[in-house]
Amino acid sequence: MKIIVGLGNPGPKYAGNRHNIGFMAVDALHRRHAFGPWTRKFKAEISEGELAGEKVLLLKPQTFMNLSGEAVGEAVRFYKLAPGDIIAIYDELDLAPGRARLKTGGGHGGHNGIKSLDAHCGKDYRRLRLGIGHPGAKELVNNHVLGDFAKADAVWLEPLLDALADNAEMLVRAEDSQLLNKLALATGAPAEPDAPARPKPPAPPSAPKPAGKSHIRQARPDVPKMLPTTGPMADMLKRMFAKKDGD
């Protein structure tokens, strides 16, 4: 059995919030597949069904985001499941809108819902993070996550949720790379992180050119100028300078 939990805040006030994309994803799965009606149990709304030949419990905690782990923990203990049987779907500030990442374990990244799941269920559960983008400044984060999606976001949000619902069996079978490719194709977002550009190694410094010399002089080493002290040439030079001194 698998538990697919979408994280969000209960009530109509929060229904369209970016922070509630986990609820929206689970609702999309519920609409697309043969799940039973929503009922209340484990401090959550739950619905039972089957995907990829396996029993699946859809779960939306009704405890508010910061206490999401209480609901999931109760369900895990009731069904005697392990952390690896949990799939959590939630919003991710550090991913661009429309991008998705899927992994097992990891840190909470400051997400209060994930902090609560870690505390009640351990960390070794699967995490499907759906990007909502970052507003650009820390002081804007709260209003961003608790603000509603804009109408323009429908361009990527609806295809993302539809693709996730269409390929939900891949999620249950842990066909992670295939699922991420499907989501990327639906939204036009890259399936994998962009490879960072490798900086080019700096060019070696060129040797400075000697100032005030032609290219001919540069190609020819300077030779110390030596005057002969013996021989015919020396005698001639002595006579020349002696004559000049006597003028």
Q: Helix, strand or coil for residue 10?
A: coil
In tens, the pLDDT along 108-165 reads 878 989 999 999 999 999 999 999 999 988 899 999 999 999 999 999 999 999 999 9
Using the predicted structure, report yes or no on whether residue 215 has a pLDDT greater than 60: no
Quote the number of domains for the chain: 1
Residue with tokens 């990244």: 109
What's the CATH code of the domain at 94? 3.40.50.1470
Q: Which domain holds residue 181?
A: 2-187
In a domain, 205, yes or no: no
In a domain, 193, yes or no: no
Phi and psi, residue 131, nearest 5°: -70, 135
pLDDT value of residue 241:
62
In a domain, 210, yes or no: no
Q: Are residues 67 and 108 in contact, defined by beta-carbon separation less than 8 angstroms? A: no
Rounded mean pLDDT, 57-64: 95
Residue with tokens 């001194």: 245
In a domain, 194, yes or no: no
Q: How many CB atoms lie within 10 A of CB 66?
A: 12
pLDDT value of residue 109:
78
In a domain, 199, yes or no: no
Query: Identity (one letter) of the amino acid at 136?
Result: G
In a domain, 224, yes or no: no
pLDDT value of residue 106:
82
Q: Distances in Å between the alpha carbon of 213 and those of 175, 210, 218, 225? A: 71, 6, 6, 18
Task: Give residue 236's pLDDT band: very low, low, confident or very high (50, 70, 90).
Answer: low
In a domain, 192, yes or no: no
Give the catalytic positions in this structure: 19
In a domain, 153, yes or no: yes
- Provide the token pair at 183: 């989501």
pLDDT value of residue 54:
93
